[in-house]
Amino acid sequence: MRDALLVLADGEVFEGEAVGAEVEVASGEVVFNTVLTGYQEVITDPSYAGQIVTFTTAHIGNYGVTGLDDEARRPACRGVVVRDLARRRSNWRAEGDLDAFLADAGVPGIAGVDTRRLTRHLRDRGALVGAFGTADEATLLAAACSDPGTEGVDLVHAVTCGEPYVTGDGPRRVVAYDFGVKATMLRHLGRLATVEVVPASTPADEVLARGPDGVFLSNGPGDPAAVRGASETVAGLLGHVPVFGICLGHQLLATALGGETYKLPFGHHGGNHPVRRLATGAVEITSQNHSYAVADGTVEGADVTHVNLNDGVVEGLSCREAPAFSVQYHPEAGPGPHDARYLFAEFEALMERGA
């Protein structure tokens, strides 16, 4: 292994060793994720486009990797930071080890980093742009300072599909906007409907011409305000067809209704966020991955349905004048908590009632 450094834009330096696809310089916004399992799903989640993922769990790679756990055709993240990269996998499902998986996918990584210190720093300072690799400290600092980060950058265009495709065999018909959709979401939707996945730029009238029973707004990376034309497209769907949004889809529904979004200090990235369902008072343990959130009190045409108990972030909306709802978290989580999977049944019920 070759020595490597991680340098943040504020000058903080972390020592480690190069793993995965070895590069001199890789840069992006550095965030931390607190999941105990599911590292492959995290790495292949398109929502991490433009970001370097730090795992707070000390040992990563213990159970290897399998193609069955990929959430997308290829990873979109800029890199991976870990404390200890397991050199021996132990799981009957494993088809390979994580280091080789990263190298084959072209994803660079840095291991041996004091991720506790890094996480504390990000928590105190907020998400920072950083650069890592085998280059010298000055080169890495310059790369970190010149990287634009995620704010104001349309990252969806890099992860959305190029052409429509069909998946699932359920009895209904759903059109799913691919803003960076995860495979697990499509598996859940596929039990309800035959799902036609369309590129993020598909106009609303083209979707409505397909005569779907419902429209799904997927997760995706980055700043919702930077996704060109998306809010206007969603606004063109409302009132004509039932709509269900998750994560970025939640934020786009809010902005289509006139709401505002803002960037969180260090985002929500993990598998154990408590969310209160206001209708029942029940607390759901949820999987989350987002750096932006809907500003409370700005969405006049919708009611807040769920709230994050850690920081009060708006976690769910229900439109008053149209059959549409959304959540900020991930009810499809796998691995992860299943507390919120009822939301897919609620989408099915909404389609049953129609527009």
CATH code where residue 291 lies = 3.40.50.880
Cis peptide before 335 (omega within 30 of 0): yes
Tokens of 91: 């799981």
In the three-class reduction of DSSP (H, G, I as helix; E, B as strand; rest coil), residue 349 is classed as: helix
Tell me the C-alpha distance between 151 and 149, whole Å: 6
Contacts of 185 (CB under 8 A, 6+ apart): 176, 216, 218, 219, 246, 332
Is there a single domain that holds both residue 164 and residue 33? no
CA angle 140, 144, 148 (to 5 degrees): 150
In the three-class reduction of DSSP (H, G, I as helix; E, B as strand; rest coil), residue 154 is classed as: coil
Handedness of CA 59, 64, 68, 73 (dihedral sign): positive
User: What is the separation of C-alpha 338 from the centre of its chain, rounded to a whole number of angstroms?
Assistant: 17
Number of domains in the chain: 2
Is there a single domain that holds both residue 136 and residue 250? no
For the segment 272-298, what is each residue's pLDDT rounded down to a tens digit? 999 999 999 999 999 999 999 999 999
pLDDT of amino acid 16:
98
Tokens of 274: 């408590």
* Residue-range definition of the domain harbouring residue 42: 3-146
pLDDT of amino acid 355:
63
Is the residue at 80 inside a domain?
yes
Is there a single domain that holds both residue 276 and residue 330? yes
Tell me the C-alpha distance between 104 and 93, whole Å: 19
Last residue of a domain, one of 146, 177, 192: 146
Is there a single domain that holds both residue 163 and residue 137? no
Is there a single domain that holds both residue 127 and residue 221? no
Instruction: Report the catalytic residues.
Output: 247, 330, 332
What's the residue count for the chain?
Answer: 355
pLDDT of amino acid 334:
84
Walking along the chain (355 residues) 10 residues at a time, the average pLDDT comes out as 95 98 97 96 98 97 97 97 96 97 98 98 96 98 97 96 97 98 97 98 98 98 96 97 98 97 97 97 97 97 97 98 97 92 97 84
Is there a single domain that holds both residue 77 and residue 187? no
Is there a single domain that holds both residue 196 and residue 277? yes
Q: What does residue 191 show for φ and ψ, rounded to 5 degrees?
A: -80, -25
Tell me the C-alpha distance between 78 and 20, whole Å: 12
Is there a single domain that holds both residue 50 and residue 177? no
Is there a single domain that holds both residue 58 and residue 204? no
C-alpha separations of 269 from 54, 297, 343 in Å = 10, 24, 20
In the three-class reduction of DSSP (H, G, I as helix; E, B as strand; rest coil), residue 95 is classed as: coil
Contact 289, 247 (CB under 8 A): yes
Contact 155, 186 (CB under 8 A): no
For the segment 25-37, what is each residue's pLDDT rounded down to a tens digit? 999 999 999 999 9
Domain CATH for 7: 3.50.30.20
C-alpha separations of 196 from 10, 74, 167, 354 in Å = 44, 20, 7, 18
**Among the listed residues 200, 195, 201, the one whose alpha carbon sits nearest the alpha carbon of residue 183:** 195
Is there a single domain that holds both residue 198 and residue 339? yes
Q: What Rg, from alpha-carbon coordinates, does the chain have?
A: 20
**Sequence letter at residue 329:** Y
DSSP H helices in the chain: 39-43, 98-105, 115-125, 137-146, 183-192, 204-209, 230-237, 248-256, 342-353
Is there a single domain that holds both residue 27 and residue 117? yes
Last residue of a domain, one of 128, 146, 164: 146
